[in-house]
C-alpha cells in the first residue's frame, strides 16, 4: 500500500478499536457479534489474500499492534490475518480448479490443546481466536493443511479471545501441502503477528500506567513525582521498546529476507515478547496499585492476554532451545 493509503487503514482500525473496546470481563454476546461483523466490513482479510499481497507483513504487524492496544473480543489474528495468509500460501501452489470449496472466508487457525504449534496427527486440537469462524485450518509438521469443523467453546485464561474445541472425529478436508520455505514463512508470520498484538497491548497498558501516575495523588503529590515510580515506569518503557524493535525487525525480515532468516528473527521476537511484555504489564499493575487487582478494572484483561499469549504458538523454552541449535552446514 501507499503510505497515505496505509495511514487511512490504520486510522480505521484505531477508530474501530476505540468504538468496540470493552470495559468489562463479561461482554454482552450481542456486542461480540456486532464487533466481529464490523471488523469484517473493514475488508482487512483481503490485505493478504492476493499474490502479491496488497499489504506488507510490516503493515499487517502495525495493524495487529493497534488491535492489541484495546481490550477487544474480535478475532483479527485468527480469522482476518492468519487464515487468509495460509490460504494464500496454499493457493500459490495449486491451480484454481484444485482449490477446495472449504477454503472459504470463515476460517481460523487450529492449534494444539496447549495452544502451541500442532504436533503429529491425532493430537487434540483447538480453534484459536475463532470469533465468527466456522472451520479451522490445521498445519501438520510436514506442511499438510487440512480444514476442520469446530466444536463447542472451551474455557481460557483470556476472557475475551474465543477458543473452541475441534472434535476428534471432525472430518478433515485436505487443502494442500506447504513446501519447506512456505512452512517456515507461515510459522514466522504467525509468530510475528501474535508478537505484534502483544506489543500493542503492553505499550497501551504501560501508557495508561504513566497517565495514572500523573493523576493519582498521595501525600499531596502525584505519584509520578516519586523517583521509585519513575524508575519502574522507565524500566517498563525500555521493555516495551525492546519488544517493539525485535518484532518490527521480524516483520521486516518476512518482507525482505529468505524464510529461514525470517523464522529465526520471528523466534527471537517472540522469545523477547514472552518475557518483556509480561514484565512491563506487571510493572504497570504495580503502579496502579490495588485497583488493578480488582475484577472491575481492565488491568487483568491486558495481563490475561499477555500471560496466555506468552505461551501461545511457542513458549520461551521452546524458542530458546531451537535458537540454541547449530545452523545446518550449507
Q: Given this model, what pLDDT does residue 193 score? A: 98
Query: CA–CA separation, 313 vs 195, rounded Å?
Result: 10
Q: Given this model, what pLDDT does residue 328 score? A: 66
C-alpha cell at 129: 481466536
H or E stretch covering 136: strand 135-139
Q: Given this model, what pLDDT does residue 261 score? A: 96
Secondary structure (3-state) at 27: coil
Looking at every residue in the chain, the average pLDDT score rounds to 92
CB neighbourhood size of 31 (10 A): 13
What DSSP character marks residue 330?
-
Q: Given this model, what pLDDT does residue 49 score? A: 82
Q: Given this model, what pLDDT does residue 119 score? A: 79
Length of the chain: 330
CATH numbers and ranges of domains, the chain: 181-324 (1.20.140.10)
pLDDT at 95 over 70: no
Backbone φ and ψ of 37, nearest 5°: -65, -45
pLDDT at 143 over 90: yes
Owner of C-alpha cell 541449535 = 325
pLDDT grade, residue 97 (50/70/90)? very low
Average pLDDT (21-34) is 89
Query: CA–CA separation, 274 vs 276, rounded Å?
Result: 6
pLDDT at 98 over 60: no
pLDDT at 106 over 90: no
Over residues 240-283, the pLDDT tens digits come to 999 999 999 999 999 999 999 999 999 999 999 999 999 999 99
Owner of C-alpha cell 518503557 = 237
Over residues 181-206, the pLDDT tens digits come to 999 999 999 999 999 999 999 999 99
CB neighbourhood size of 164 (10 A): 20
Q: How far from 178 is each of 9, 141, 168, 169, CA to CA, in Å?
A: 30, 10, 23, 24
Q: Given this model, what pLDDT does residue 3 score? A: 87
Predicted model pTM: 0.94
Amino acid at each position: 500500500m501507499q503510505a497515505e493509503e496505509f495511514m487511512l487503514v490504520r486510522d480505521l482500525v484505531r477508530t474501530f478499536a476505540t468504538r468496540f473496546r470493552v470495559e468489562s470481563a463479561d461482554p454482552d454476546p450481542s456486542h461480540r457479534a456486532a464487533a466481529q461483523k464490523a471488523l469484517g466490513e473493514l475488508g482487512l482479510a483481503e490485505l493478504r489474500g492476493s499474490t502479491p499481497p496488497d499489504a506488507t507483513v510490516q503493515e499487517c504487524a502495525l495493524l495487529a499492534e493497534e488491535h492489541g492496544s484495546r481490550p477487544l473480543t474480535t478475532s483479527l489474528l485468527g480469522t482476518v490475518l492468519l487464515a487468509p495468509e495460509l490460504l494464500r500460501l496454499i493457493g500459490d501452489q495449486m491451480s484454481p480448479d484444485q482449490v477446495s470449496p472449504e477454503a472459504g472466508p470463515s476460517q481460523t487457525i487450529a492449534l494444539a490443546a496447549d495452544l502451541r504449534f500442532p504436533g503429529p496427527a491425532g493430537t487434540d486440537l483447538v480453534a484459536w481466536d475463532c470469533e465468527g469462524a466456522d472451520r479451522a485450518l490445521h498445519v501438520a509438521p510436514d506442511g499438510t493443511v487440512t480444514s476442520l469443523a469446530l466444536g463447542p467453546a472451551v474455557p481460557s485464561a483470556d476472557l475475551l479471545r474465543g477458543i473452541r474445541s475441534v472434535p476428534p472425529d471432525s472430518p478433515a478436508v485436505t487443502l494442500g501441502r506447504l513446501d519447506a520455505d512456505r512452512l517456515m514463512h507461515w510459522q514466522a508470520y504467525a509468530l510475528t503477528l501474535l508478537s505484534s498484538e502483544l506489543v500493542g497491548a503492553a505499550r497501551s497498558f504501560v501508557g495508561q500506567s504513566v497517565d495514572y501516575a500523573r493523576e493519582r495523588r498521595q501525600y499531596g503529590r502525584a505519584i509520578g513525582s516519586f523517583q521509585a515510580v519513575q524508575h519502574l515506569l522507565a524500566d517498563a518503557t525500555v521493555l516495551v521498546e525492546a519488544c517493539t524493535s525485535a518484532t518490527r525487525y521480524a516483520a521486516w525480515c518476512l518482507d525482505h529476507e529468505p524464510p529461514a532468516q525470517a523464522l529465526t528473527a520471528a523466534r527471537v521476537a517472540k522469545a523477547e515478547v514472552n518475557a518483556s511484555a509480561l514484565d512491563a504489564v506487571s510493572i504497570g499493575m504495580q503502579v496502579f496499585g490495588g485497583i488493578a487487582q480488582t475484577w472491575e478494572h481492565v488491568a487483568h484483561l491486558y495481563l490475561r492476554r499477555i500471560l496466555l499469549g506468552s505461551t501461545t504458538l511457542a513458549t520461551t523454552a521452546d524458542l530458546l532451545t531451537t535458537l540454541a541449535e547449530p545452523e545446518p552446514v550449507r
